[in-house]
Amino acid sequence: MSADSTDDFESEFQPATDTQPTPDAVLEAEDLSVSYGKVQALRGLDLTVREGEIVSLIGPNGAGKTTFANTASGFLPYDGSVRYRDQEVSSVGQTALVEQGMIHCTEKRDLFGYMDVEDNLELGGYLQDDAVIEERKEFVYDLFPRLDERREQNARSMSGGEQQMLAIGRALMGDPDLLILDEPTLGLAPVILKDIAEAFDPIQEQGVTIMLTEQNVTFALKHADRIYLLENGDVVREGTPGELKGDDYIRESYLGG
């Protein structure tokens, strides 16, 4: 083999590198600050959620998690920047954000208590045509069989866990690109947390990116790809679950030592 052909061989058979292209940012906050009068709830927060990820914003009561979720979905005025797919949220507006696939499942769930499961779900699909509504309802019923069993039950008569499943199900009816889940595990029994966690994979398989705010640090560490820890409106730690589990401060303050 000539020197030239050796060179050709080497250039053709370079070892494969494992560098993957970085997925696009779906949601990106930069130097984001939000105040309620004199109370500053977010202080210069930087955060990125990339396509296909589950990113969790964790923190104790009053840290600013709901403020972030509400700001990202266009409910609150802010300083700095928060962008959904490169568009400044304040210039898009709430309705257009929903139309473009940013669906927010709020901490309070905001169900229609006197309506049954089926009607609550159909309302979540108000932007979809009939065929898509039927398809998505079946997806939700497969995801949460408890809802399937209770199609005609009024939302207000269901348990907290079932209501949470319905709130997530209704959000999924909107065919989300980005699903914002604000504290979905709050006050729920471990068995229900398992049902909710088991829904994440099929939701992600539909190409949905998830922004999850959580007080339940253990749950977030188990299910998120990346995590930001918020305290008093400041991000004080960020990293993968593996990185944060190895952090003394996180272990001592949030995982019982």
Q: Check binding of 145 to ligand ATP (CB under 6 A).
A: no
Q: How far is the CB of 129 from ligand ATP (least distance, A)?
A: 35
Pick the closer one to ligand ATP by CB: 65 or 223.
65
67 binds ligand ATP (CB under 6 A): yes
When asked if residue 63 is in the footprint of ligand ATP (CB under 6 A), the reply is: yes
Q: Is 66 in the site for ligand ATP (CB under 6 A)?
A: yes
The answer to whether residue 61 forms part of the interface with ligand ATP (CB under 6 A) is yes
Is 103 an interacting residue with respect to ligand ATP (CB under 6 A)? no
Closer CB to ligand ATP, residue 204 or residue 215? 215
In the complex, minimum distance from the CB of residue 41 to ligand ATP, in angstroms, rounded to a whole number:
4
Q: Which two structure tokens, joined as six digits, stand for 102?
A: 């940013």
Contacts of 78 (CB under 8 A, 6+ apart): 32, 33, 34, 42, 71, 90
- Which one of the spans 57-65, 131-139, 158-166, 238-246 is the region binding ligand ATP (CB under 6 A)? 57-65
Cβ nearer to ligand ATP, comparing 34 with 133: 34
Shortest Å, Cβ 159 to ligand ATP: 21
| Candidate residues 23, 62, 93, 202; the one interacting with ligand ATP per rule CB under 6 A | 62
Chain-centroid distance of CA 245 in Å reads 21
Q: Which of 39, 132, 189, 255 binds ligand ATP (CB under 6 A)?
A: 39
Least distance in Å: CB of 40 to ligand ATP? 8
Residue 227 near residue 238 (C-beta atoms within 8 A): yes
- Closer CB to ligand ATP, 22 or 61, in the complex: 61
Positions touching ligand ATP (CB under 6 A) are: 36, 39, 41, 59, 61-67, 107, 215
